Amino acid sequence: MSRFFSHRSILAAIVACIIVPSRVSGQQVEIKPTDDGATITVDGAPFASYLLNSGHQPVIWPIVGPGGQAMTRQYPLGEKLPGEKDDHPHHRSLWFNHGSVNGLDFWMEPDEEDDNQIKHREFRKSESADGVAEIVAVNDWFNNDKKVCEDERTIKFGADENGRWIDFTVVVTASEGELVFGDTKEGAFGLRVPGEIDVDAKKGGMIRNSNGKQDEAAWGGAAEWVDYHGTLDGKPAGIVVFDMPDSFRHPTRWHVRTYGLFAANPFGEKDFPPGETKQGEVKLAKGEQLKLHYRVLFYSGERTPAELAAIYKDYAGN
């Protein structure tokens, strides 16, 4: 099967701001429009918000786990929690971008000379049905006033017996001409874990992947999933990101750091340790598309690697 697929026509209709309660595992999921995006609740309690504009891009923040804990770092979007670092202000909760797109850096916050922005254009869908809240959002990537490319993000929010989850599919289109995703570690689908569970905090936080690698040894390696867990507010909790089988260059390499960065990166190669999985630069001709697909599970309690592998197998079959 080709790694790319042909350009699709624009959807004929836009479905927006629909609120329909739905249930999964006895829990009610709702989505409501806001002035800056949308907010998702589970049984009336906060789960997540999709923000149209934070820094230079849309992000998902805050994210509240099934145990009521904040599941991503609050800085720089909200008040810092105890133990949080104020480094890397471009690590904004949960996001998608890349550090080299036609040589332009969309990973870092822009400066005056190189204003790279990912700008929300429209919602094509925003509704809840059959136990899932779903957003379909279109974004344009700009260098100053020049459009570079565009993407469509299908983001689903749900809850099940495993915890709360966000399913994130992004299709990037080379809408303006040839598009090059460069070879850099700074990418691409990322989140920043709470400071209390990062490994460097030395409070019991741990990284582990589907191949049995832990902590620093997991950095740069290819894996079907990576788990980052520890103790939040005195209770065990964790975050696992699953690289879904239909995602480009599955299983991907991971830019996951002991200080709390947690990113799936199918483009990085030269910065990572040598491995059997080869990645690197990707070129798309005008009109070609690239699809990435990840599911993030926020869970309470503890999970064994065998349990995470079983959850992944279940999710990958859906």
Mean pLDDT of all residues in the chain?
A: 91
- Mean pLDDT for 175-199 is 98
C-alpha pair distances (Å), 127 with each of 134, 136, 213, 276, 301: 6, 9, 39, 42, 30
In a domain, 17, yes or no: no
So what's the pLDDT on residue 222? 97
> For residue 3, is it within any domain?
no
pLDDT digits (tens, 9 = 90+) for 134-171: 999 999 999 999 999 999 999 999 999 999 999 999 99
> Quick check: is 2 in a domain?
no
In the predicted model, is pLDDT for residue 226 greater than 90? yes
Q: What is the pTM of this model?
A: 0.91
For the cut 90, the answer to whether the pLDDT of residue 10 exceeds it is: no
Average pLDDT over residues 125-129: 94
> Is 209 a member of any domain?
yes
Whether residue 60 is contained in a domain is answered as yes
Residue 16 lies in a domain: no
In whole angstroms, what is the distance from residue 71 CA to residue 86 CA? 17
For residue 281, pLDDT beyond 60:
yes
Report yes or no on 14 lying in a domain: no
Range of the domain at 293: 22-316
Does residue 247 register a pLDDT over 60?
yes
pLDDT at position 299 over 60 = yes
Band of residue 6 on the pLDDT scale cut at 50, 70, 90 = very low
Q: Which of 242, 245, 269, 244 is nearest to 255 (CA)?
A: 269
Q: Which pLDDT value is given to residue 41?
A: 97
Is the pLDDT assigned to residue 17 strictly greater than 60?
no
Amino acid 15: pLDDT: 28
Residue 26, pLDDT score? 61
Per-residue pLDDT, averaged over 296-301, amounts to: 98
CATH code at position 44: 2.70.98
- Structural domain contains residue 15: no
Q: What is the structure's pLDDT at 27?
A: 83
Number of domains present in the structure of the chain: 1
